[in-house]
């Protein structure tokens, strides 16, 4: 007996990771009457460098759940079109206004608001449980099957026994490492430097990208400041940091001249955070008693901001396919295999597009000695604007949209006295 264990818990499904995939799956399973416990290693969701793009596919899910109107009361910005600034002007890339969805826009919403919204609604169901400050450290295996996990908490070690363990703990997943699942590395060629610069009256509206000589940057509107993503070649951050910070600030100012005076807000290198980009996927997403979804199953590039939405689609597919077996107490390998079969093709296709853009667009930007003009496909989009609907559909809906099908057991109503 492990005397360091301070608490033991039994549940039907235990989800490691309280990000978009884990929280959406927890919500949907609880909605279907499945006892579910979500473990999140942090004390809250307040972290700057998380995906903020809520795509039309996710907004459609909120509509199907009957939560869209309330959801849109949360702080967000609505983007109807996105494009990029080149040497020869601004070019539209995607026009979402013609999508066959209720919301014909991308919503930029701080991820902590999104997650808190899901938690608030999930907690209405008595079968939903959330433990914050519970960091998964190991799996429990019995007779060749994953039977639960162990987590580190401020009160000591937590042991959770579960019919099914879900790994939704991100790109550096402890669950998939402990499970020994094989990872296929697709070789990301970029990293991203994240920092913030204040907004001012007269700043342009959200436009997505800024392309310059050797540099590419994305600006995300956070209301009173810009969240900036400065894309660099893989592994170059140490070299950049060896130079003067003033040179980096100058590069930012050249890309987005309206920010030039405000780049002095970057007072030291501590204000610039490195996101090490990974693009990989598991060869097999499951073992007996275990399934990985979201970034744990397939780490995505930040290109297109599709990672959060792909993870949510995984969660919906998993809920649709697993709620009934979970309630019956009979989740088999074949059930888990169905989830991967359902979600693997859109994952592969999305990653293929991302790697193509890394290798054929961003690599060209990095090599350019002078500011680039727009590539011919973008010029074609401007000549025939109807074509902007194609990348909008790929970005906004993905290669396979999921829809909520899980049975809603209903929220218990307080008894009248």
The CATH number linked to 263 is 3.30.70
pLDDT at 416: 47
Candidates 116, 99, 95; CA nearest to 57 is 99
156 and 302 belong to one structural domain: yes
335 and 252 belong to one structural domain: no
d(CA 246, CA 108): 30
298 and 239 belong to one structural domain: no
Percent of the chain with pLDDT over 70: 96
Q: Is residue 160 within 8 Å of 260, Cβ to Cβ?
A: no
The answer for residues whose C-beta is within 8 angstroms of residue 250's C-beta and 6 or more apart is 263
Q: Tell me whether residue 173 is in a domain.
A: yes
218 and 341 belong to one structural domain: no
Interval 162-178 mean pLDDT: 96
163 and 287 belong to one structural domain: yes
Name the residue range of residue 248's domain.
Answer: 190-233+235-275
Phi first, then psi: give them for residue 337, nearest 5 degrees: -60, -35
25 and 118 belong to one structural domain: yes
State which H helix or E strand residue 281 sits in: strand 280-282
348 and 297 belong to one structural domain: yes
135 and 149 belong to one structural domain: yes
pLDDT at 10: 97
Q: Is residue 255 within 8 Å of 218, Cβ to Cβ?
A: no
d(CA 34, CA 25): 11
pLDDT single digits (tens) 330-385 = 999 999 999 999 999 999 999 999 999 999 889 988 888 887 788 888 889 999 99
114 and 58 belong to one structural domain: yes
Q: Tell me whether residue 9 is in a domain.
A: yes
Residues recorded for the chain? 417
Last residue of one domain, picked from the residues 353, 372, 402: 353
pLDDT at 414: 54
Q: How many domains does the chain have?
A: 2
- What is the value of pTM for the model shown? 0.93
Q: Tell me whether residue 366 is in a domain.
A: no
pLDDT single digits (tens) 184-239 = 999 999 999 999 999 998 888 766 788 888 899 988 877 788 889 999 999 999 99
Q: Tell me whether residue 337 is in a domain.
A: yes
Q: Tell me whether residue 97 is in a domain.
A: no
Q: Tell me whether residue 42 is in a domain.
A: yes
């Amino acid at each position: 007996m492990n005397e360091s264990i301070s608490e033991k818990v039994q549940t039907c499904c235990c989800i490691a990771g309280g990000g978009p995939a884990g929280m959406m799956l927890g919500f949907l399973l609880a909605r279907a009457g499945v006892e579910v416990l979500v473990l999140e290693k942090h004390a809250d969701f307040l972290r700057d460098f998380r995906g903020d793009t809520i795509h039309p596919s996710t907004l459609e899910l909120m509509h199907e759940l009957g939560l869209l109107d309330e959801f849109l009361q949360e702080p967000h910005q609505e983007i109807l079109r996105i494009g990029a600034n080149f040497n020869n002007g601004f070019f539209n890339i995607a026009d979402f206004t013609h999508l066959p969805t209720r919301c014909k826009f991308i919503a930029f919403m701080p991820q902590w608001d999104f997650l808190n919204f899901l938690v608030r609604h999930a907690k209405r169901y008595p079968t939903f449980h959330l433990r914050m400050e519970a960091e998964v450290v190991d799996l429990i295996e019995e007779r060749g099957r994953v039977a639960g996990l162990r987590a580190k908490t401020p009160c000591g070690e937590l042991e959770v026994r579960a019919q099914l363990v879900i790994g939704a703990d991100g790109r550096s997943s402890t669950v998939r490492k402990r499970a020994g699942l094989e990872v296929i590395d697709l070789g990301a060629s970029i990293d991203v430097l994240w920092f913030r610069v204040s907004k001012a009256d007269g700043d342009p509206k959200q436009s997505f990208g800024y392309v310059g000589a050797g540099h590419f940057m994305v600006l995300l509107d956070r209301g009173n400041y810009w969240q900036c993503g400065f894309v660099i070649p893989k592994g170059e951050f140490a070299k950049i940091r060896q130079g003067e910070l003033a040179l980096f600030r100058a590069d930012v100012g050249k890309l987005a001249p309206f920010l030039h005076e405000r780049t002095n807000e970057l007072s030291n290198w501590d204000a610039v955070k490195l996101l090490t980009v990974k693009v990989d996927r598991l060869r097999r997403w499951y073992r007996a008693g275990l399934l990985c979804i979201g970034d744990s199953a397939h780490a995505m590039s930040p290109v297109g901001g599709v990672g959060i939405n792909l993870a949510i689609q995984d969660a919906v597919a998993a809920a649709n396919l697993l709620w009934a077996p979970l309630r019956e107490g009979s989740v088999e390998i074949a059930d888990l295999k169905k989830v991967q079969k359902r979600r693997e093709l859109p994952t592969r296709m999305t990653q293929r597009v991302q790697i193509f853009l890394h290798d054929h667009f961003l690599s060209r930007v990095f090599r350019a000695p002078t500011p680039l003009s727009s590539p011919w496909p973008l010029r074609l989009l401007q000549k025939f604007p109807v074509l902007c609907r194609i990348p909008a559909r790929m970005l906004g809906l993905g290669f396979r949209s999921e829809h909520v099908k899980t049975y809603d057991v209903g929220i218990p109503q307080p008894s009248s006295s």
